[in-house]
Amino acid sequence: MALVSADTRIAELLTELHQLIKQTQEERSRSEHNLLNIQKTHERMQTENKTSPYYRTKLRGLYTTAKADAEAECSILRHALDKIAEIKSLLEERRIAARMAGVYNDSDPPRKTMRRGVLMTLLQQSAMTLPLWIGKPGESPPPLCGAIPASSDYVAKQGDKVAARVKAVDGDEQWILAEVVSYSHSTNKYEVDDIDEEGKERHTLSRRRIIPLPQWKANPETDPEALFSKDQLVLALYPQTTCFYRALIHTPPPRPQDDYSVLFEDTSYADGYSPPLNVAQRYVVACKENKKK
């Protein structure tokens, strides 16, 4: 029943999203005429080589209108982003409910039957679809945006992906990519599943052994302070694996769609670090241990 109601709500949201996209295009088309007027007015001023009171007054009015048009379009786009976030949340709730009920589909097969290639593709898709934080003018990025850590009282929700420190078969400890199953407020411990189907293990871990992954990408062009800086020590998901390893930031992402370039600690190289490798913002978190091993 819950799955059906989620499907119905998703269908409604998709219809609303479609209407918002149409409104955005209508708003943009309407504002283009005003922007063309601004361009033509500047061209006439250059031709006449003077800035008269008439042109100043006219441009002031045109720019005021352009600003109002841009704010109206921005408002519609933010509304659309809210709809997309709600759709993603409902899809995640549906995935968790289906898994608990033992119902699976092709896009989320049970872990015991998932091929490794499929898992790597899903992790890549998760990184690509991580939403970009778009704040209002003067608004600071929130916790879990890029490099900004979660607040001290934050509790990861069921289904959230985290970096989890677990004991390996050989007794060594390692950071793995895991999914939150539950959190007990009485014991302050998480139950998490190893995301790797080859692990098939459930772990009970204290809060200090869990690092929530970013929920938004940080925009390097508007919020560079929300990114890890060059030479900063981090934990990063090694490409084509589900384990996090210590690394140094080689270069932060230059654009919102770009990855970090990182140098993994690797004793097989003379300087102790691997060549630069790309890792998505989704899978780079602060390292809790500052000393190099």
Q: Quick: pLDDT tens for 62-100.
A: 999 999 999 999 999 999 999 998 898 888 888 777 776
- Average pLDDT over the chain, rounded to whole? 89
CA distances from 28 to 21, 22, 32, 33, 243 (A): 11, 10, 6, 9, 45
Instruction: State the Cα–Cα distance between residues 157 and 183, nearest whole angstrom.
Output: 8
* Mean pLDDT computed over 234-247: 96
CATH number of 224-286: 2.30.30.140
Query: Domain spans of the chain?
Result: 2-112, 161-212, 224-286
**Whether the predicted model's global pTM rises above the 0.95 cut:** no
User: Is the pLDDT at 249 greater than 70, yes or no?
Assistant: yes
Domain 161-212 identical in fold to domain 224-286: yes
User: Is the pLDDT at 2 greater than 60, yes or no?
Assistant: no
E strand intervals along the chain: 161-167, 173-184, 189-194, 202-206, 210-212, 233-237, 243-251, 260-264, 277-279, 284-286
pLDDT at 293: 47
Report the relative pairing of strands 210-212 and 260-264 from DSSP bridges: unpaired
- The verdict on domain 161-212 having CATH code 2.30.30.140 is yes
DSSP conformation class of 101? H
